[in-house]
Amino acid sequence: MTPMQDKQTRVEAVMKLAPVIPVVIIDEARHAVPMARALVAGGIRAIEVTLRTQAALDAIRAIAAEVEGAVVGVGTVLSGHDLAAAERAGARFAVSPGAAPGLLDAADDSALPLLPGVATASEAMILLERGYRHLKFFPAVPAGGVKLLGAWASPLPQLRFCPTGGIGLANAPDFLALPNVLCVGGSWLVPPERLAAGDWAGIEQLAREASMLRRPHA
């Protein structure tokens, strides 16, 4: 098995942990551990903490060290520097909104598996040439939604996706029903107001609802 094949296998395992990967924006690192414990208790183990705040890396470090059962990843990865910092913090996977050449080169040299974002068939084909089989479809709803992603299933049967962007509990089942979708990404599991209020029971309930979504093709 090549290093790329190994990383693709690990990404696939993360995508199959639950129907939804929560996309978390965290402003205070002290919220990270109780938030992650609430998600895990609700049946959601993979957690994407985005690099959109100063607290993100500390949050990843705390979850990796203290939350049993959590598989913490890093989101909004834009560069090799982001990738290296996340790996040092203990992230288990990385997610990017797109696929810049420099980031892909850095990912080739990193042990951290990357789930890169695409919005077009051409971008997906470029990543397929580089050995990627698991991709993020972003922004899912604005880019064409279920119809566009479903149309890729026949000409690009090798690829599996995690659509993210504009997805909630109401439309997640439509994406999960597609044969080329393993999971979806969404921010609705950790609403900012519940995170700020420390409403861990509420977050656990949202996670429980999401964990019950059906995935006929996962």
Tokens of 147: 């119809």
Q: How far is it, in rounded angstroms, from Cα 206 to Cα 191?
A: 10
Residues whose CB is less than 8 angstroms from the CB of residue 71 and which lie 6 or more positions away in sequence, other chains included: 14, 17, 45, 46, 47, 92, 93
d(CA 138, CA 164): 5
Choose the catalytic residue: 16, 28, 136, 193: 136
Q: Is the pTM of this model over 0.75?
A: yes
Per-residue pLDDT at 215: 85
DSSP assignment letter at 164: B
Element holding 89 (H helix, E strand): helix 80-89
Q: How far apart are CA 88 and CA 71, in angstroms?
A: 15
How many angstroms separate the CA atoms of 111 and 90, rounded?
12
Q: Rounded to whole angstroms, how far apart are CA atoms 8 and 20?
A: 18
pLDDT digits (tens, 9 = 90+) for 73-82: 999 999 999 9
Which residue among 7, 16, 28, 48 is the active-site one? 48
123 is catalytic: no
Per-residue confidence (pLDDT) for residue 19, from 0 to 100: 98
| pLDDT (0 to 100) of residue 217 | 75
What is the side-by-side strand order in the sheet with 117-118?
Answer: 117-118, 134-137, 160-163
Interaxial angle between packed helices 200-211 and 32-41, expressed in degrees from 0 to 180 and rounded to the nearest 10: 40
Task: For residue 214, count other CB atoms closer than 10 A to its CB.
Answer: 11
Question: Can you list the residues of the chain whose pLDDT is less than 50?
Answer: none
103: tokens are 């980031």
Which pLDDT does position 203 carry in this prediction? 98
pLDDT number for residue 216: 84
CA distance 111 to 101: 17
Alpha-carbon gap, residue 49 to 148, rounded angstroms? 27
What values do phi and psi take at 114, rounded to 5?
-110, 135
Enumerate domains of the chain plus CATH numbers.
3-211 (3.20.20.70)
User: Of 23, 31, 70, which is closest to residue 188 (Cα–Cα)?
Assistant: 23
pLDDT, tens only, 59-97: 999 999 999 999 999 999 999 999 999 999 999 999 999
Please confirm, yes or no, whether 193 is among the known catalytic residues.
no
